[in-house]
Amino acid sequence: MVVVVNTASEKAIAEWRESLAEMAPHLEVRWWDDANLDPADVRYAVVWKPEHGRLAHFTGLKVLFSLGAGVDNIVADPAWPRHVPLVRMVPAEGPQRMGEYVTWAALSLQKDLPRIFRSREAKNWDSFATPTPATECTVGIMGLGAMGRRSADLLRGVGFPVIGWSRSRKALPFENFAGAEELDAFLARSRILVCLLPATPETTGILSAPLLVKLPRGAGLINSGRGAHQNLADIIAALDEGHLTGAVLDVFDPEPLPADSPAWIHPKIIVTSHIGAGPSTRECARYVATSISAFELREALYNLYDPTRGY
């Protein structure tokens, strides 16, 4: 049974081989660009951003795995194999790691980390009071899936009041808003806005001027969804004008973020390199091995892409 892994890193492919040899020894791990690979032999593929048209050659494919929790890079390929199940990468560790990232980012905005770094650079003893305690700084989370819900748990644990927004209302232990008609009320309450939405035609470009202006003046922004969600020029304009006080951006379009992007040097932006959830290769391999085992036993697969929702 051949499983092909779409990664440019030799270290990563070695880790996949080592992990799956232990967890699912019947699977033969092959590299995406292996010149000796016969595409017809591939039964399982683990991919992040496959070149358009390549997946269509895997005529014996049984299950397709996204290397990310989002599948936007895969379904953008007009020829992606729609007849096979597409599984999003959501190992248990992913939401936990994302929750840690979002909590760190919210505390960084609330404690003004860029100012702390500037003081350190200048060896300036800048003893300042944090404007508001976390308990008075409501965090609004857009997207209440696996990532958003775990982030809410951890944020609440350190004292941030949390509200959320998604397509449909949820029975959760915090106030949540649903649908386009409730978006403005949600934004008006969000001192820090967190984007954890999937990239779909409805959400593309959502973090742009018309939305940002609806946040309270002085709000902070965290985008750990997708680069396609944000209009970087609008975010920078809102920061320069003072409507936003800071932004932590983990995702960009394109990635890697080009060296000449103004985001790298903007004094109110903290750039991270798509590290929000980033489960380890071993965690991903365990998730893939478990899912393949379930598939081969004709059991249910979880975290499947739903074409009717678009994510």
Alpha-helical runs (H) found in the chain: 10-23, 72-75, 93-110, 113-121, 146-157, 183-189, 209-212, 232-241, 281-296
Q: Is residue 225 within the footprint of ligand NAP (CB under 6 A)?
A: yes
Query: Which residue in 216, 263, 278, 294 binds ligand NAP (CB under 6 A)?
Result: 278
CA dist., res. 68 & res. 260, Å (int): 26
**Backbone phi, then psi, for 234, in 5-degree steps?**
-70, -40
Q: Is-catalytic flag, 274?
A: yes
- Interaction residues for ligand NAP, span 71-100 (CB under 6 A): 90, 98
Choices 10-18, 19-27, 104-112, 195-203; region in contact with ligand NAP by CB under 6 A:
195-203
Whether residue 23 contacts residue 15, with contact meaning beta carbons closer than 8 Å, is answered with no
Please state the closest distance from residue 180 (CB atom) to ligand NAP, in A.
7
Query: Which residue in 7, 66, 138, 203 binds ligand NAP (CB under 6 A)?
Result: 203
Helix (H) or strand (E) holding 247: strand 244-249
Give me 276's structure tokens: 């929000």
Query: Which residue in 3, 249, 277, 292 binds ligand NAP (CB under 6 A)?
Result: 277
Query: Which residue in 11, 25, 127, 168 binds ligand NAP (CB under 6 A)?
Result: 168
Q: Is residue 202 within the footprint of ligand NAP (CB under 6 A)?
A: yes
User: In this chain, which residue has its C-beta nearest to ligand NAP?
Assistant: 145
Q: Is residue 239 within the footprint of ligand NAP (CB under 6 A)?
A: no
Please state the closest distance from residue 140 (CB atom) to ligand NAP, in A.
12
CA dist., res. 275 & res. 191, Å (int): 23
Q: Is residue 197 within the footprint of ligand NAP (CB under 6 A)?
A: yes
Please state the closest distance from residue 199 (CB atom) to ligand NAP, in A.
6
Whether residue 40 contacts residue 14, with contact meaning beta carbons closer than 8 Å, is answered with no
Choices 30-38, 122-130, 132-140, 191-199; region in contact with ligand NAP by CB under 6 A:
191-199
State the catalytic residue, choosing from 226, 229, 266, 286: 226
| Closest listed residue to residue 103, CA positions, set 236, 201, 2, 224 | 224
Q: Is residue 199 within the footprint of ligand NAP (CB under 6 A)?
A: yes
**Backbone phi, then psi, for 103, in 5-degree steps?**
-65, -45
Q: What is the dihedral of CA 99, 135, 214, 269, to 10 degrees?
A: -60
Q: Is-catalytic flag, 226?
A: yes
Question: Nearer to ligand NAP by C-beta: 37 or 304?
Answer: 304
Question: Nearer to ligand NAP by C-beta: 2 or 199?
Answer: 199
3-class SS of residue 116:
helix
Please provide the size of the chain in residues. 311
Nearest-Å Rg of the Cα atoms of the chain is: 21
- Interaction residues for ligand NAP, span 89-148 (CB under 6 A): 90, 98, 143-148
CA dist., res. 182 & res. 201, Å (int): 19
N-to-C CA span, the chain: 28
Choices 13-21, 38-46, 190-198, 208-216; region in contact with ligand NAP by CB under 6 A:
190-198
Whether a cis peptide bond, with omega within 30° of 0, leads into 254 is yes
Give me 286's structure tokens: 């365990």
Choices 27-35, 124-132, 241-249, 269-277; region in contact with ligand NAP by CB under 6 A:
269-277
Binding site residues, ligand NAP, CB under 6 A: 68-70, 90, 98, 143-148, 166-168, 196-200, 202-203, 224-226, 250-251, 274, 276-278, 311
Active site residues: 226, 274
